[in-house]
């Protein structure tokens, strides 16, 4: 499994890629593998301030629906529009085209409290 070193992770299986004072968020390769074929992404929190560990949307797979948890405090700026017609991008490219939301980071210091790739591997027993 792939866990890019430049990303940060949560024990709830989200990843975050920081770019200045903004960040992209998605679910990890491990998470999408556990969920199976993803058929729908429901995120209707654009423009909202979302706090760490709050639910910002759901991902629906063939077998289950799972909540998406915000890794840090931030304001949701954008949802990946490609996922409306191609939710399977989360399965095929979870760290690239399968990103879910772009946020404005409220407190950059929060990012440092997240897991690095090695710590995340420990969470999932790798």
In a domain, 115, yes or no: no
**Does residue 111 sit within a domain?**
no
Structure tokens, 75 = 């304001």
The whole domain housing 34 covers: 8-105
pTM of the model: 0.95
113 secondary structure, DSSP code: G
In a domain, 2, yes or no: no
- Which letter does DSSP use for residue 94 in this model? T
Query: What region, left, alpha or beta, does residue 123 occupy, with left being phi > 0 and alpha being psi -120 to 50 degrees?
Result: alpha
CB 30 within 8 A of CB 23: no
* Angle at the Cα of 67 from the Cα atoms of 62 and 73, rounded to 5 degrees: 150
| pLDDT tens, residue by residue, 8-53 | 999 999 999 999 999 999 999 999 999 999 999 999 999 999 999 9
Domain tally for the chain?
Answer: 1
Asked whether residue 117 is domain-assigned, the answer is no
**76, part of any domain:** yes
Is 90 a member of any domain?
yes
In a domain, 124, yes or no: no
Residues counted in the chain: 126
Task: Give, for 19, the enclosing helix (H) or strand (E).
Answer: strand 14-19
Whether residue 78 is contained in a domain is answered as yes
Q: What CATH number did the domain enclosing 23 receive?
A: 2.40.50.100
Confidence bin at 118 (pLDDT 50/70/90): very high
């Amino acid at each position: 499994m792939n866990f890019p070193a430049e990303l940060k992770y949560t024990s709830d299986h989200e990843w975050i890629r920081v770019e200045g004072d903004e960040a992209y968020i998605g679910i990890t390769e491990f998470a999408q593998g556990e969920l199976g074929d993803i058929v729908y992404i429901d995120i209707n929190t654009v423009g909202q301030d979302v706090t760490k560990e709050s639910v910002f949307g759901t991902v629906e797979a063939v077998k289950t629906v799972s909540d998406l948890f915000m890794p840090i405090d931030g304001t949701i700026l954008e949802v990946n529009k490609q996922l409306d017609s191609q939710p399977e991008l989360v399965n095929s490219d979870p760290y690239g085209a399968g990103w879910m939301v772009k946020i404005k980071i409220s407190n950059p210091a929060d990012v440092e409290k997240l897991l690095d790739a090695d710590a995340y591997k420990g969470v999932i027993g790798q």
